[in-house]
Structure 1
Amino acid sequence: MAPAVLEPEVACCLPVKNSSKGFTSTTIKEIPAVNDAEVLQAPLPNPSLQVTADHRIKTVEAPVLAPKKGEVLLQIKATGVCGLPDNISYAQGALLEPLSVVLHGIRTAGLELGTGAVICGAGPIGLIALAAARASGAHPLVITDIEPLRLAFAKELVPECLTYRVDPSLGAEGNGKAIRALFGTETAGEYVAPRTVLECTGVESSVCAAAFAVRRGGTVMVIGVGREVMNNLPFMHISLSEIKLDFINRYRDTWAPGIQCLSGGILKLDKLISHTFPLEKAEEALTLSSDVRNGSIKVQIVDEFESPLF
């Protein structure tokens, strides 16, 4: 995004949705001097976003000033810019951030084809993890939650999965054993227990249940963000069972693969967008999304004003 060169011309690129290469390429007019500083004539646009008095966003041409004494103008290649193909809407594109979290978690956990996995939590991250785990070939899949409406939605999203409603009265170990039973451990033994648990709640009791659910030598990947300190983790069980307790923080190199997943139809996440509100009803949207009993999954707030930039 940064303009740059040591010559008297500056090339600056901006990603746009409908450009085949993701960049604009039109010639702009020479810009007048700014505060007596020399302004370079750029062969490509150098747009800047400004907020107007009526709270809209407009694009204006930003001047590219010549370097002064002791300064240098560098040309820096724009990286990490991923254009959306025409078959991905902006509503779908907004799901790329949570999808990136999931892709990083699955990649780090080393989820294997044809092996069982548990997803703890049927919120947006957990549901995307369920869909991605299914697309990755993991089987069988069990998703857990305390809210029956979200479990019903998970079953609709991935009909092949099994659902488990968490019972607080059983405690972490009791829920872990009940989850394992869904994989057939009571008859087939330890081998069929889930090798991977994707923990998407960050709740301490859920992390503990995940540790009791995973097979010996398995991996509990904590994707959810919870309390700063967890005091009740079953340390000796995790240690004696040689369970790998792993974590992620943000993500890297996931946006391009995420776009391919959506564009190629590998993942179809449109159903996650349960509600859409105009900007004028943003407060109503936040109120609805604050209570999962309202049936909200992914609530989007949109502004129908189309900026000429995009």
Structure 2
Amino acid sequence: MSTVAVLILALTLDAVMGEPKWLWDRAPHPAVLMGRAVGWLDRTMNSQGGGIMAGAGALAILMTGAYAMGWGLDLLGPVVEIIVVAILVAQRSLVQHVAAVADGLRVSLGDGRRAVSMIVSRDTAQMDQSGVARSSIESAAENMSDGVVAPVFWFLVGGLPALLVYKVVNTADSMIAYRTPKYEYFGKATAYADDILNFIPARITCALIAVPAGVFNWRDIARDARQHRSPNAGWPEAAMAHAIGVALAGPRSYDGKMQEFAWVGGAGARDIGPVQIDAAIRQLWLAWGMMVGLVIVLGLF
């Protein structure tokens, strides 16, 4: 079975089934296993404040192990490939988590805060409705890139080995790539690797969000994307901001400290709520549909 055929079936399976809770209540999710591996290397190689070389060594171990596992799973045939790709491409799960925030806000601000705290790392206890909605929309756009488009891209490039390498780097980035005394140097190689692996997918995601919405003001999107502190996350966020007419990013609090970040799509609406989250979800599915269509076209050629 061709790579494209495997991918189409996997994307369809994920869109229909999502994350089977009954399964992950009984067995650890692959992302959890990756996280445990990252945590073990962190405790082992960074217990005394490991430097850049220790961090690079840990990253090399993770990438080598992920590649070997992907290669071994590849040998088990297309059915296993389809299942693994469906598990690691998280479109339906992403939509469900974002939709839960909109549903929560329709009940109460407290319910919205609790729902958004499940998908963002910033402080949520004092967020107003707009802050909750903005956070969920940002997460939707960024995770469309990290959780859907990038895994698809790397699977097309190098099959399961490349997909698992990407996922383990992305998992490590979320755990150790922080500018703190403990991780400033240990996580540097991981941060650079994640930036490199997401460079093309982030910009593809930008187009997948913008084009179905009829948004083609690329200069404005590029200008807003460069306002973001991340070299990649700003692109899908800027596209989403322009697609649904909202302002994203801006000031937010981490660990009790308010930080002043630039606005992305600053001309958009700032007083937003569940209606705008619903609009973002529609854009996620439109982007997904366009991506599937492009994969089918790729398969025809």
TM-score, length basis structure 1: 0.20
Larger radius of gyration: 1
Q: Identify the structure with bigger relative contact order (alpha carbons < 8 Å, sequence gap 6+).
A: 2
| Structure with the largest fraction of helix | 2
| Structure with the largest fraction of strand | 1
